[in-house]
Amino acid sequence: MSATTISFIIGILFGAALYLGGLANPDKIVGTLRLKDFHAMRTIAVFVLVGMLGTWILQLIGHANMDVKPAEVLPVLIGGALLGIGFGLTGYCPGTGLACVAAGRFDALITVIGMFFGALAYIYIIPTISKPLASVMNYDKTTLPEKTGINAAVFVIPLVVIGVLLLWLTRPGSKSTTVKPI
């Protein structure tokens, strides 16, 4: 199979999982950001923890294809804030926005059109602002194990164990918590 075909198939699986998992649903995202509906938060937590555990194991056996993004702290903070505002206003992000267009949401289509204009704005402003933004607190493409010299296991194992424990203790329907069953 060509790399293009592989990417296309991964995309199909990702789009289907985003929709069936309830993340490609702006109501679920807004509910989580408002701390009223914990479905999306729990789904995202499992998604991240499983991905972290799997990526670590793949690295141990030498089969991980890594793509770490540059840790330019200032643009990452500003970009995260702008993305966060759009995320909170609409309940969409780039992946779930595309998936929601496919699900028949017209507002998602308008949001995706806005995204193309946002990308255009990025193209026009980045030559002017990239150098000053990236000149402070720039750690480049680095991971926590590389940066600290601590073995990845020391991050992955406690994060996964604590995460699973917290998800278990706060599970919907659990008598030991006051969390509403979602």
Partner 1 sequence: MSNERVEKSPLPWWLAGLLLGGVQILAVAISKPLGVSTQFVVVDTLALKQSSPEYVAQHPVIGSEKYQKLGGGFWLDVGLVAGAFIATLVIGRWRLQATTAWWRANRNGKAAVGARLLTGFIGGFLILLGARLAHGCTSGQFASGWAQLSVAAIPFTITLFGFGMLAARIMYPKTPDIEA
The reply to whether 11 sits near partner 1 by the rule CB under 8 A is yes
Nearest CB to partner 1, comparing residues 106 and 176: 106
Give the residue from 64, 69, 38, 68 showing the smallest Cα distance to 53: 64
Nearest CB to partner 1, comparing residues 84 and 169: 84
How far apart CA 121 and CA 127 sit, in angstroms, is: 11
The reply to whether 52 sits near partner 1 by the rule CB under 8 A is yes
The reply to whether 152 sits near partner 1 by the rule CB under 8 A is yes
161 Cβ contact list (under 8 Å, min separation 6) = none
- Residue 139: CB atoms within 10 A of its CB come to 12
Q: How far is the CB of 132 from partner 1 (least distance, A)?
A: 13
Single out the residue of 60, 62, 73, 158 in contact with partner 1 (rule: CB under 8 A).
73
The reply to whether 162 sits near partner 1 by the rule CB under 8 A is no
The end-to-end CA distance of the chain, in Å, is: 41
Q: Residue 138 forms beta bridges with which residues? A: 72
- For residues 113-142, which are near partner 1 according to CB under 8 A? 113-123, 126-127, 130, 133, 139, 141-142
- SS3 state at 20: helix
Amino acid of residue 69:
K
Q: How far is the CB of 150 from partner 1 (least distance, A)?
A: 10
Q: How far is the CB of 169 from partner 1 (least distance, A)?
A: 14
Cβ(37)–Cβ(28) under 8 Å?
Answer: yes
The reply to whether 161 sits near partner 1 by the rule CB under 8 A is no
The reply to whether 21 sits near partner 1 by the rule CB under 8 A is yes
Single out the residue of 60, 110, 161, 166 in contact with partner 1 (rule: CB under 8 A).
110
The reply to whether 77 sits near partner 1 by the rule CB under 8 A is yes
How far apart CA 156 and CA 112 sit, in angstroms, is: 35
